């Protein structure tokens, strides 16, 4: 029966890793969004372009991995 437990541990670890991945991805999206907002407020075209590209890249990663970003609070005041 230890094989069953081993499989359970692998599944639990996979769920934990996915959760860590999702958490990290959401944090990166929020940070990039705040940086984009700052760049827009400071009227920095190069930074706006860079952070806009970063946001698109992170959203693509989220879509590829089925990470829902809909409930992520994206505001300049969110911390």
Residue 75: per-residue pLDDT: 56
Residue 6: per-residue pLDDT: 47
Residue 78: per-residue pLDDT: 46
Backbone angles phi, psi at 68, to 5 degrees: -85, 120
| C-alpha closest to that of 62 among 33, 15, 30, 29 | 29
Burial pattern 39-54, b for ≥16 Cβ within 10 A else e, equals beeeeeeeebeebeeb
Contact (CB, 8 A) for 67 and 22: yes
Residue 26: per-residue pLDDT: 92
12-65 pLDDT, tens digit each:
554 555 588 999 999 999 999 999 999 999 999 999 999 999 999 999 999 999
């Amino acid at each position: 029966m230890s094989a069953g437990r081993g499989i359970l541990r692998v599944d639990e670890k996979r769920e934990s890793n996915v959760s860590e991945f999702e958490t990290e991805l959401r944090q990166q999206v929020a940070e990039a969004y705040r940086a984009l907002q700052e760049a827009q407020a400071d009227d920095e075209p190069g930074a706006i372009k860079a952070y806009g590209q970063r946001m698109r890249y992170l959203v693509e990663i989220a879509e590829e991995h089925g990470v829902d970003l809909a409930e992520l609070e994206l505001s300049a005041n969110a911390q």
